[in-house]
Amino acid sequence: MIWRGVLLACLLSGCASLPPAPAVRPPQPESASFALNGRISVSHQGARHSAGLRWTHTAQSDEVLLLAPLGQTAARVYRDAQNATLDDGDKHYQAGDAETLMQQALGWYLPLGGLHHWVLGMPTSGSSAQIERDDNGQIAALHQDGWEVRYLRYAGTRPDSLPTRLQLSRDGLQMLLLIDEWELP
Give residue 111's Cα distance to chain centre: 11
At residue 164, the pLDDT reads 97
Query: What mean pLDDT comes out for the span 127-138?
Result: 94
> Whole-prediction pTM value?
0.84
What SS3 state is found at 142? strand
pLDDT of residue 20: 55
Q: Is 155 within 8 Å of 138 (Cβ atoms)?
A: no
pLDDT digits (tens, 9 = 90+) for 14-32: 444 444 555 888 877 777 8
Q: Residue 156: is its pLDDT beyond 70? A: yes
pLDDT of 53 above 80: yes
pLDDT at residue 90 in the model: 85
The number of beta carbons lying within 10 Å of the beta carbon of residue 135 is 7
**Topology of the domain covering 33-183:** outer membrane lipoprotein receptor (LolB), chain A (2.50.20)
The arithmetic mean of pLDDT across residues 89-117, rounded, is 86
Domain ranges of the chain: 33-183
Contacts of residue 99, Cβ cutoff 8 Å, sequence gap at least 6: 109, 110, 111, 112, 113
Digit-coded pLDDT (tens) for 28-51: 777 789 999 999 999 998 889 899
User: Is the pLDDT at 10 greater than 80, yes or no?
Assistant: no
What's the pLDDT score for residue 21? 54
- Tell me how long the chain is: 185
